[in-house]
């Protein structure tokens, strides 16, 4: 077994979508609020964790402050657990600020522990999290190494013991009075503690301390129950400040889409319809639905579709949170990406272009052309779904430009005119058809040319004798 721990020390800050503006998350009772964490923009103004909120605001007038949001932290961890399924079938949530993945079974797929850990790290950065990672044969051991910034991959028991021995006792998750007692005894590192006579210390500090260390070292079993993850995707992301322009929402959408893609990789599937809710305070959500022509899990493509939709979307009210959901995960029709190829060069696909154009212009605006087996010129074609093949017997001599509604022509003394006299060069081609559906035609078609040399496709209705233009030989 090999356990990968992901510790997210800045989670209270990073639950909010990243922002360029100075942001601080505060905690503590209402009358003495303190800065719990702040982003680099705030730190540049001199804001620091531990500061009172008032001094922070005095240093930085534009500081956005949000109270620590335990529910959002839980949701963020849950979102990461969903995302992390691509790396491990068993995800565990330790008690605070992190994730635990059993990766022993995934090593072969990712080419070893090092590439896997590197990949997890890079993806977390892309998601907007600062993470500390460590891997070790016991869950608690890896967690303690990660929490104490011992960024290591430790595969053997002995190496784990050596690494844990060097951890400061202050880095263990112990009650404050236990910590104080240990300090009073002059003990600094885990190794110092383990060299003491056990029964005596256990009597003073409780057996729990040694059980805890034994679990970390692998002397005691440490059964863990993986978190049960839902079959669908539904994730909410609070925004650090209300957003009034859709462009600023893209940042946040990115994180949600990347998490979804993690789930899709785990499932070996894609997504074909997505729903994005924009939450407005005190008003009904706005909904943006994105449909794809075929399932995809290409994060860049999905983001590009949302970008087009968001740029065209008029926000009815400021937005303070986003929610992305997807319910069905159909199989991919074509292999879209290699797990490891970050800069893949997929062959350009016309249907991706169709989705992109439709995202901005609307579904109706982009069509293919289809043939229909019918002698009537207006029935011989129809707009079709792009990418589909149709076949029909073809008649030669048809014009490239077609008029849906034939244009009536003047025909004094039976000679058709269009901005001047027309000269009939070819024809007639008789088309008589359609008695079965009431749209029957009885026409004689001609190619006609005007004085400028423009050529048209015109017909004489054999019942009324009137002339019409139906095409142009472009």
Partner 1 sequence: MNLDTLLQRADLWRAGAAAPAAPHLGTGSPELDEQLGGGWPLGALTEILLDHQGIGELQLLLPALARLSRERWQAWVEPPHIPYAPALADAGIDLSRFLWVHARDKERLWAMEQALRSGACGAVLGWPADPDTRSLRRLQLAAEHGSACGFLFRPRRAARHPSPAAVRLELEPGQDRMVLHVLKRRGGWGTGRRLRVRT
Count CB atoms within 10 A of the CB of residue 69: 15
Closest approach, Cβ 55 to partner 1, in A, equals: 49
Place of tokens 């890896």: 142
Closest distance of CB 357 from partner 1, Å: 6
* Nearest residue (CB) to partner 1, 18 versus 368: 368
Report the distance separating Cα 474 and Cα 467, nearest Å. Answer: 20
- Rounded Cα distance between 437 and 204, Å, is 97
Angle at Cα 301 formed by Cα 387 and Cα 16, nearest 5°?
155
Among 107, 111, 88, 112, CA closest to 6: 88
User: Smallest distance, Å, CB 384 to partner 1?
Assistant: 8
Q: Which is nearer to partner 1, 75 or 379 (CB)?
A: 379
Question: Least CB distance from residue 447 to partner 1, whole Å?
Answer: 10
Give the Cα separation of 364 and 288 in Å (integer): 17
Work out whether strand 23-27 and strand 34-38 pair parallel, antiparallel, or are unpaired.
antiparallel
Q: Which residue has the tokens 């979508």?
A: 17
What six digits make up the tokens of 317? 């009210």
> Residue 17 Cβ, how far from partner 1 at the closest point, in Å?
27
| Closest CB to partner 1 among residues 215, 382 | 382
Tokens linked to 280: 């407005």
Residue closer to partner 1 by CB (options 112, 383) is: 383
Burial class of residue 171, CB neighbours in 10 A (0-12, 13-18, 19+): middle
Query: Which residues form the interface with partner 1 (CB under 8 A)?
Result: 348-350, 352-354, 356-357, 360-361, 364-371, 377, 380-384, 386-390, 392, 394-396, 398-404, 452-456, 471-474
Measured from the CB atom, is 125 or 392 closer to partner 1? 392
Distance between CA atoms of residues 107 and 114, nearest Å: 9
Specify which residues 321 forms β-bridges with. Answer: 238, 279
Residue 323 vs 376, nearer CB to partner 1: 376
Cis ω for the linkage preceding 189 (within 30 of 0): no
Report, in Å, the least distance between residue 404 CB and partner 1. Answer: 6
CB of 363: closest distance to partner 1 in angstroms?
11
CA atoms of 327 and 289, how far apart (whole Å) = 13
CB-CB neighbours of 158 under 10 Å: 8
Residue with tokens 């021995």: 165
Judged by beta carbon, residue 184 or residue 420, the one nearer partner 1 is 420
Neighbours of 418 (CB within 10 A): 17
Minimum CB–partner distance for residue 309 and partner 1 (Å): 14
Least distance (Å) between residue 350 CB and partner 1? 4
């Amino acid at each position: 077994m090999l356990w990968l721990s992901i510790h997210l020390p800045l989670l209270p800050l990073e639950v909010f979508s990243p922002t360029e503006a100075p942001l601080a998350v505060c905690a503590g009772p209402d009358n003495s609020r303190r800065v719990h964490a702040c982003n680099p923009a705030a730190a540049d103004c001199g804001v620091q964790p531990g500061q009172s909120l008032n001094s922070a605001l005095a240093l930085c007038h534009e500081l956005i402050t949000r109270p620590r949001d335990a529910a959002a932290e839980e949701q963020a961890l849950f979102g990461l657990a969903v995302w992390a399924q691509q790396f491990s079938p068993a995800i565990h949530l330790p008690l605070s600020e992190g994730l635990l993945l059993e990766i022993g079974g995934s090593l072969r797929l990712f080419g070893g522990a090092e590439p896997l850990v590197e990949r997890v790290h890079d993806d977390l950065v892309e998601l907007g999290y600062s993470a500390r990672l460590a891997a070790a044969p016991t869950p608690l051991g890896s967690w303690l190494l990660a929490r104490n910034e011992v960024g290591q991959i430790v595969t053997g028991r002995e190496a784990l013991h050596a690494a844990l021995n060097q951890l400061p006792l202050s880095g263990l998750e112990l009650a404050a009075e236990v910590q104080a007692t240990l300090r009073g005894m002059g003990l600094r590192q885990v190794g110092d503690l383990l060299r003491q006579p056990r029964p005596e210390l256990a009597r003073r500090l409780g057996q729990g301390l040694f059980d805890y260390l034994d679990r970390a070292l692998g002397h005691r079993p440490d059964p863990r129950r993986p978190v049960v993850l839902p079959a669908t995707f539904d994730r909410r992301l609070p925004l650090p400040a209300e957003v009034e322009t859709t462009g600023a929402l893209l940042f946040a959408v990115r994180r949600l889409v990347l998490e979804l893609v993690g789930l899709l990789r785990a499932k070996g599937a894609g997504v074909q319809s997505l729903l994005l809710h924009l939450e407005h305070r005190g008003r009904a959500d706005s909904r943006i639905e994105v449909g794809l022509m075929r399932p995809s899990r290409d994060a860049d493509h999905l983001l590009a579709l949302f970008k087009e939709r968001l740029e065209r979307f008029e926000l009815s009210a400021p937005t303070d949170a986003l929610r992305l959901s997807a319910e069905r995960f159909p199989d991919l029709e074509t292999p879209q990406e290699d797990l490891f190829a970050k800069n893949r060069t997929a062959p350009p696909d016309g249907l991706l272009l169709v989705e992109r154009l439709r995202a901005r212009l609307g579904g109706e605006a982009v069509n293919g052309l289809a043939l229909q087996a019918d002698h009537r010129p207006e029935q011989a074609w129809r707009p079709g779904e792009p990418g589909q093949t149709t076949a029909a017997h073809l008649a030669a001599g048809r014009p490239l430009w077609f008029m849906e509604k034939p244009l009536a022509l003047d025909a004094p003394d039976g000679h058709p005119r269009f901005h001047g006299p027309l000269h009939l060069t070819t024809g007639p081609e008789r088309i008589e058809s359609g008695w079965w559906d009431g749209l029957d035609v009885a026409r004689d078609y001609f190619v006609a040319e005007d004085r400028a040399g423009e050529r048209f496709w015109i017909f004489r209705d054999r019942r009324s004798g009137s002339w019409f233009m139906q095409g142009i030989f472009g």
